Structure 1
Amino acid sequence: MTREPQKAVVAGVSVDTRHWIGGERVASSQTFTDVSPIDGSVLGEIARGTATEAAAAVAAAKAAFPGWSRTPRSERARILHAIADGVEKRLEDLAIVETTDNGALLRSHRHGVMPRVAHNFRFFADWLLRLGHEDFQTRGHTNHVSWDPAGPCALITPWNAPLMLATWKVAPALAAGNTVVLKPAEWSPLTASLLADIAAEARLPAGVLNLVQGYGSEIGSALTSHPDVRRISFTGSVPTARRIAESAVANLTPLSLELGGKSPLLVFADADLDLAVDLAVDQYDNAGQVCLAGTRLLVEEPIVEEFTRRFVEKASALKQGDPRDGTTDIGPNIHPRQLEKIDGFVQRALAAGAKAVIGGHRKEGLYYAPTLLTDVTQDSEIVQEEVFGPVLTLQTFADEEEAVRLANGTRFGLAATLATGDLERAERVSARLVAGTVWVNCFFVRDLKAPFGGSRLSGVGREGGAWSFDFYCDVKNTVTAPKGWTNHG
């Protein structure tokens, strides 16, 4: 890996480290350093934007909006498919750069994440072409529903799945006819820059997609409080979401917020135990840096000993190490600050009486041992607060009623996973769980046609399929009188 003032070269892939505003690369007077979590190597010096760059990006988006919003749906869809083609053409580049930048598994980026990035563009391009509502009649008057582009959108994305979660927002916003200012997380900014190159090669008009990089404290509020920004979509922490909401309120800018989770994974005695254990161990995916992860294992009392034995056996076999190695199961955590946070949660829990069945400690570098804590209480910090690392807790329940009470017993409501062999029970329990998504005998199965979002402190709003267009558009109803009929009163 080599560095130049305006470039990072990662595994032979050149990444421009400047902003992308109005179809041009723009430098800043200051930079911040991007470091790989794999080995601590410096990847590049990234342009560090301020309110000045934020304002320029919003101005570029505003200037491009009239042309893009009037572009026929078929042409917008064609360009989005061209962006998807570009993603697929550069899939290997995107995979190795993102793995190096955020530490997630290279095999996952190659076979799951980057193909999903391309699919995000294709799905919303195709959905756009069939978006519509049948006209309906009211006393002879015709009602016609339309989805009008809203305007420039500020999209603020996290570091744990940088490009996939960015394009989950960018693709529907562009499909809807909006222009975009994308602000990626400062801990993993590189693939967003590559996306700007890919969009330009697909002949997305200048100013339709803009990229500004920097710290949220220096650039975020300049975006979210800007009067020309008409939609804000954010994925990240609850405290940051509160600040965004406060800055957006003056302009009554609509928000979509996908926030933290403390999701339960319920295992009933009638479950397929091998499946349940597999589901539980899957929660260590991406070193536990997954907002949807079922980090609270709730296991029915009669099977807890056998479940724990099998879980420990399977989890202990996971290989932790360099995520570029195809045999690695768990890579590093993203940043020293995040590792400190994870270890702080665990050490406080142990001091309060929790028992580490496995893990409970740091390893060399930014690696944290996969951890399972037992002897925890429902009101304890480790059960109530999001850790965002490879740390699970285990509690038991006596019956269905207690299972639901424990599952719903936090401030969050993003997701829930349920393992049971009784489909009637699955229906009963699922109906009572507070969650935006419930998985029964499976995990992380997501279709873009489905609504996605959280309840309680896990978020505001839903995106996906028609819900995305409802958010990124001003939905309008036009009522037309019958020919020759007038209403004067």
Structure 2
Amino acid sequence: MLEKKQFYINGAWVDPAQANDYPVIDPSTEEQCATISLGSQADTDAAVAAARAAFPGWSQTPREERVALIQKLADIYKARSEEMAQAMSMEMGAPIEMSRSSQVGAGSWHIGGFLKAFEEFDFERDFTATEKTLLEPIGVCALITPWNWPMNQIMLKAIPAMATGCTMVLKPSEVAPLSGLLFAEFVHEAGFPAGVFNMVNGDGAGVGSQLSAHPDVDMVSFTGSTRAGIAISKAAADTLKRVSLELGGKGANIIFADADEKAVVRGARHCFANSGQSCNAPTRMLVHSSKYETAVAQAADVAEKTKVGPASEEGRHIGPVVSEVQFDKIQGLIEKGMKEARLVAGGLGRPDGLNRGYYVKPTVFADVTNDMTIAREEIFGPVLSIIPFETEEEAIAIANDTPYGLTNYVQTTDDEKRRRVARQLRSGMVETNGKGFAAGSPFGGYKQSGNGREGGTYGLEEFLEVKAVSGWAAE
């Protein structure tokens, strides 16, 4: 079993100010795989102080030097990718092949996107012939990241903060902290100046709240639940720090009668991917009534054919959900759904042959209406709700009738309708006909899915202040 109790503060691995051991559970086996320590106020203060002390020097470091260090970090990440894949597979249950490709790959993909955006990014912009607008690093940033896509989210925050000249304190999820600890090793190996990057483990009520309220933190970038995002916003309000939030979702996948023949299967697989633990998952499938029963049968078939198994197993399958807390929550919502709608696949309990581990049956509900609990709440498991519609206007109204607004989906071969519907959907992203987004595309949501954007140029701008300077040049 791994012992990972130290924090990374001011360029060194240090013991916690006081012992507070916390078990890390392998969700495939329900057995403890590591021990970390949860930080205290003294640890948080030390990390913030280190970041504050490093900010003047790092913020004035030439951009070429910052880019060179990030590129070195990218090289180390690539060279040690198998270590990272194994860490994420063990801590949060991603199947090892998926961990190597998608979980690790998301991190390298974002580094590349940021480096490309940074090449052409202009920190000094002429506003008039004599006036200059300067974009400057905001300062000390608290980066609070989740367990479902560990390196995806750490890279979306740490890389733009580093590139723009900010210093930072990372608090990874205490449920899946091993990848964050490994990332800190990579940063140290790359040779970043002491204090630029710091990492303290802790939970939301402890280190998370301490960072959010800390007077020497200038910005909080958080990814997680809407409930936690609201709490962070309240904690940050007293110091008026910037808060960037990427929160929950309840994405609608609108499948029109003229959608391509693979649309339903594609949508169901997307919903079940990563065991349903993605904020942008298309968990509400809206299907035109003329194709409805066919779609229900297709989605049920996908669920029944989706293999579930341990993260260590090779091959294409989904793993467990991350924890007992998540498992119990999902089971409760499936039970609620069985009272509300028609269960056509999956249901309560573990899949056959899996008696230990937090495994959930891929589940499909039909005849769902948008006022049902399973259509309103973010389940964060492999659970799909299918809703019929008659008209384009009705589909748009159902899709928008949610407190969330992260990602919606449109499936139609009519290009004009596809664009028309996309314009009317109230979400930060609209994926159409299975076409993914490019590197550097802005990721973020409307409404209770958060504020701010991550990725590429938009992600760099999140970490910058804007300064207007008159008389920069002579008349």
Q: TM-score, normalised by structure 2?
A: 0.95
Which residues of 2 match residues 159-174 of structure 1 at below 5 A?
159-174=147-162
**For 1:236, which of 196, 200, 224 is the aligned residue?**
224
Residue 136 (structure 2) aligns with: 148
CA distances 1:106-147 after superposition (whole Å, capped 9, x unpaired): 112212321331232343234333211785464xx4232322
Instruction: Answer 1 or 2: higher relative contact order, Cα 8 Å, separation at least 6.
Output: 2
SS in 1 for 2:23: strand
Residue 471 (structure 1) aligns with: 462
Moved more, 269-278 or 296-305: 269-278
- Matched to 1:454, the amino acid is G
Matched, 1:458 2:459: no
Residue 345 (structure 2) aligns with: 358
Which residues of 2 match residues 42-441 of structure 1 at below 5 A?
42-132=32-122, 135-136=125-126, 138=128, 141-351=129-339, 353-363=340-350, 364=355, 365-441=357-433
CA distances 1:331-361 after superposition (whole Å, capped 9, x unpaired): 001001101100111112222x312100111
Q: How many angstroms does 1:206 deviate by?
A: 1.1
Q: How many angstroms does 1:57 deviate by?
A: 0.5
In the aligned structure 2, how far is the partner of 1:114 from the partner of 1:281?
A: 20
CA distances 1:73-122 after superposition (whole Å, capped 9, x unpaired): 00000000000001001001100111011001211221232133123234
**Structure 2 residue runs without a partner (length 5+):** none
Q: How many angstroms does 1:226 deviate by?
A: 0.8
Q: How many angstroms does 1:301 deviate by?
A: 0.3
- Cα gap change, 1:384 to 1:204, in 2 (>3 Å): same
SS in 1 for 2:462: helix
**Structure 1 residue runs without a partner (length 5+):** 8-15
The runs of 4+ residues in structure 1 deviating greater than 6 Å are: none
SS in 1 for 2:257: coil
In the aligned structure 1, how far is the partner of 2:302 from the partner of 2:333?
A: 24
CA distances 1:446-484 after superposition (whole Å, capped 9, x unpaired): 33422211101111122222222221011223232653x
SS in 2 for 1:224: helix
SS in 1 for 2:370: coil
In the aligned structure 2, how far is the partner of 1:240 from the partner of 1:482?
A: 47
In the aligned structure 2, how far is the partner of 1:44 from the partner of 1:220?
A: 21
CA distances 1:379-431 after superposition (whole Å, capped 9, x unpaired): 11111111000111011001101111111111111000111111111011111
- Cα gap change, 1:63 to 1:310, in 2 (>3 Å): same
Instruction: Indicate the RMSD between aligned Cα atoms, in angstroms.
Output: 1.6
SS in 1 for 2:75: helix
8 Å CA contact 1:453–1:462 kept in 2: the answer is yes
SS in 2 for 1:34: strand
8 Å CA contact 1:38–1:331 kept in 2: the answer is yes
- Cα gap change, 1:135 to 1:39, in 2 (>3 Å): closer
Q: TM-score, normalised by structure 1?
A: 0.93
- Cα gap change, 1:463 to 1:362, in 2 (>3 Å): same
8 Å CA contact 1:17–1:44 kept in 2: the answer is no
8 Å CA contact 2:28–2:93 kept in 1: the answer is yes
In the aligned structure 2, how far is the partner of 1:449 from the partner of 1:97?
A: 26
8 Å CA contact 2:282–2:409 kept in 1: the answer is yes
In the aligned structure 2, how far is the partner of 1:206 from the partner of 1:58?
A: 12
In the aligned structure 2, how far is the partner of 1:413 from the partner of 1:217?
A: 26
In the aligned structure 2, how far is the partner of 1:482 from the partner of 1:19?
A: 47
Q: How many angstroms does 1:282 deviate by?
A: 2.0
SS in 2 for 1:451: coil
Q: How many angstroms does 1:322 deviate by?
A: 1.3
CA distances 1:132-170 after superposition (whole Å, capped 9, x unpaired): 1785464xx423232211111000000101122111110
- Cα gap change, 1:332 to 1:481, in 2 (>3 Å): closer
SS in 1 for 2:470: strand
8 Å CA contact 2:143–2:157 kept in 1: the answer is yes
SS in 2 for 1:142: coil
SS in 1 for 2:88: helix
Residue-pair matches, total: 468
